[in-house]
Structure 1
Amino acid sequence: MVLEIDRRQAMAYRVAAHGLHRGGTDPAALAVFDLGVQDDAQRDTANLAVLARLDTAPRRPLADDERFLSTWSHRGAPHYHRAGDFRALLPALMPWDAADAAARLSWQRRDMAAAGMPADEAIRTAAAALRKVVTHPMTKGAASEAVTKVIPEGLSLWCRRCRATHILDQLMRLATPLAGLALRPGVSPVTLVPLRPRPRVPEHPDARAAVDVVRTYLRLHGPATATDAAGFVGTTRTTLTHAMWPDDLVEVSVDGRRCVIPHDALAALEHPPEADVVRLLPPRDPLVQARDRALLVPDPGHRKEVWKILGSPGTILADGEIAGVWRARRSGARMELTLTELLPLSARVRAAVEAEAERLGKARGAESLRVSWT
């Protein structure tokens, strides 16, 4: 028998699964790090995602916590992971075949023709080259220049902005963790750092590791579909269902949409706590990384405000809804937060939002904070 729920129940489950009811003081215990937390260092998004989930602000930022490391991982985007989890994740980042690699690289036939090799071979070639040339901390620019000299010409391209020929950017991002490289957190320019001890480039993808990634996505962002999970991984639905699909899933209907969730999460889905929390979530917060954006934000116009092509805002989570957006401007020790309603907010919720703004400003070291509503 298929469990039938509505969107509100699904959102209540996700709010709880993402730890947004708050509890504890240890970032490493947060469930969102089971998958990894995407970071935008310029806007401190990963640290703000942690702040939204802990009872008290952490004693130190993630960049100073040796229990975490940063690297390009899912879809080539920068993520913080628990350092102890990362080596087990590496085989899940290795493409299954040429079609999978082409999807992760967003390559078309002409790209593979230009490369002179299948896409999966291109990633393995780039990873081996990066492992060879990056033997000490190197900026992204220096590493790109060094690796471009030793890879086949088809894997590099003339860059008009840089006025130089260098390795294709997405190829470098996908190959970097496979080469046993992390990113030095909290520094600019981006700097690649070899892990110690340094893992070898995985020879083959690992089914168990890949299935664990998909299962974790479905636990945090479920109930969801195979297409949703494939979008997060950066692959095709066909590859995901053939090579990475867990066998312990149960079917759920969310307002008539057929979805799945891990069996061990079903009880929590059936009886989630009320989503009666108010939080300021940063841009790229784990909650808004779900690929079924229409479930998170039903109104198409509101979705355009939440997910911008460039410079997405933070979001206001109120009683299980993405109810608004926020942007911050910093000038020295002064911070200004502009809050925008997408849904009508009560006086109680507005007061709670402003309290969250004070908490955010204090965590960011602002000596003065100005909050304005639009």
Structure 2
Amino acid sequence: MPAFQTLWPRWRQVTHTAAQRGVLAFGRDRGRKVTYTNPGCTPAPPTWSLHELVNRYLRAYGPATAEDFAAWLAAPKGWAAALFASLAEKGRIEAVAFASGRAWVAAGDTAFPDEPARGVRLLPYFDAYAVACRPRELLFPGSAATRALAGGQAGNHPVLLVDGTVAGVWHQRRTGRRIALTVELLSRLSASHRRALEEQAERTGAMLEGTADLTLGKVTTGPHA
């Protein structure tokens, strides 16, 4: 089947079905290769599984709405709304004031930091924070919505995160041990943020077992390049 400018074997289209039936799971990686195994397990009951999925989703990404959950799961909005209503009646989730309206958190998970997010991060392609956190207008403010989202889809561009919001995009190109790292800023950085960005570039190079060469400028590659 066509996929990412190449061809994938068709068995990849049914791995999710096999996993849901308890006959397929990830095995131990072999270097950079993924392996699968037959765990011989019994899937959990559907109702319990749905409740646990919502609980884990909200603990990771809440406060969030039923519509946010539907988008994350690629599920119908009406179905998600009914599920959240059912969980609210059972006391499994609770409503909080968030942004300009109401959102949901897992029951009891209402302790929020007093201080806003601080720090600089270089997030890779399809990082869970950039992909799943909503509302998008808070995470991708102003020009970030146009530059860092590809047709409204998050994850296709690695992003620069400054104090919890997207403030740029970046790209890396490797030649031997040298890693040319280009960061395109969408807003001005303070001196402390610039130092933190340099530290992040150095850390990225170390994780990739190379030496990063940081440049501030235009990223000319397209999405998912």
Question: Is this a same-fold pair by TM over 0.5?
Answer: yes
Question: Within 2, Cα distance between the matches of 1:273 and 1:186?
Answer: 42
Write the letter of the residue equivalent to 1:273.
E
Question: Of 210, 217, 237, which aligns to 2:77?
Answer: 237
Change (3 A) 1:357 1:295: same
Does 1 or 2 have the higher relative contact order (CA < 8 Å, sep 6+)? 1
The total of aligned residue pairs comes to: 206
Residue matched to 1:373: 216
Deviation at 1:251, TM superposition (A): 2.1
Q: Percent identity between the aligned chains?
A: 28
Write the letter of the residue equivalent to 1:177.
A
Question: Within 1, Cα distance between the matches of 2:66 and 2:54?
Answer: 9
Write the letter of the residue equivalent to 1:328.
Q
Question: Within 2, Cα distance between the matches of 1:238 and 1:181?
Answer: 31
Residue matched to 1:246: 87
Residue matched to 1:107: none
Alignment of structure 1 residues 136-215 onto 2, 5 Å: 166=10, 170=13, 172-178=14-20, 179-182=23-26, 185=29, 191-195=35-39, 198-200=40-42, 202=43, 205-215=45-55
Write the letter of the residue equivalent to 1:237.
K
- What's the TM-score once normalised by structure 1's chain length? 0.48
Question: Within 2, Cα distance between the matches of 1:355 and 1:230?
Answer: 37
Question: Within 2, Cα distance between the matches of 1:190 and 1:224?
Answer: 32
Change (3 A) 1:159 1:359: closer
Change (3 A) 1:189 1:288: same
Question: Within 1, Cα distance between the matches of 2:203 and 2:149?
Answer: 24
Does the CA contact (< 8 Å) of 2:182 and 2:214 recur in 1? yes
Question: Within 1, Cα distance between the matches of 2:56 and 2:8?
Answer: 42
Write the letter of the residue equivalent to 2:149.
W
Q: Which runs of 5+ in 2 are unaligned?
A: 218-225
Residue matched to 2:159: 315
Deviation at 1:240, TM superposition (A): 2.6
The answer on 1:363 being equivalent to 2:207 is: yes
Alignment of structure 1 residues 270-349 onto 2, 5 Å: 271-290=113-132, 292=134, 293-299=136-142, 301-308=143-150, 312-349=156-193
- What's the TM-score once normalised by structure 2's chain length? 0.76
Deviations 1:79-107 (A, max 9, x none): xxxxxxxxxxxxxxxxxxxxxxxxxxxxx
Deviates more, 1:178-187 or 1:316-325: 178-187
Deviation at 1:237, TM superposition (A): 2.3
Change (3 A) 1:261 1:356: same
Does the CA contact (< 8 Å) of 1:324 and 1:342 recur in 2? yes
State the Cα RMSD in Å.
3.0
Change (3 A) 1:348 1:159: closer
Residue matched to 2:222: none
Question: Within 1, Cα distance between the matches of 2:129 and 2:209?
Answer: 25
Change (3 A) 1:231 1:329: same
Q: Indicate the SS of the match to 1:176.
A: helix
Does the CA contact (< 8 Å) of 1:218 and 1:261 recur in 2? yes
Q: Larger % of helix: which?
A: 1
Q: Which runs of 5+ in 1 are unaligned?
A: 1-157
Question: Within 1, Cα distance between the matches of 2:199 and 2:214?
Answer: 10
Residue matched to 1:88: none
The answer on 1:262 being equivalent to 2:106 is: yes
Question: Within 2, Cα distance between the matches of 1:163 and 1:346?
Answer: 46
Deviations 1:230-274 (A, max 9, x none): 221221122233346533323223332321222322122xx4333
Deviation at 1:220, TM superposition (A): 2.0
Deviations 1:44-67 (A, max 9, x none): xxxxxxxxxxxxxxxxxxxxxxxx
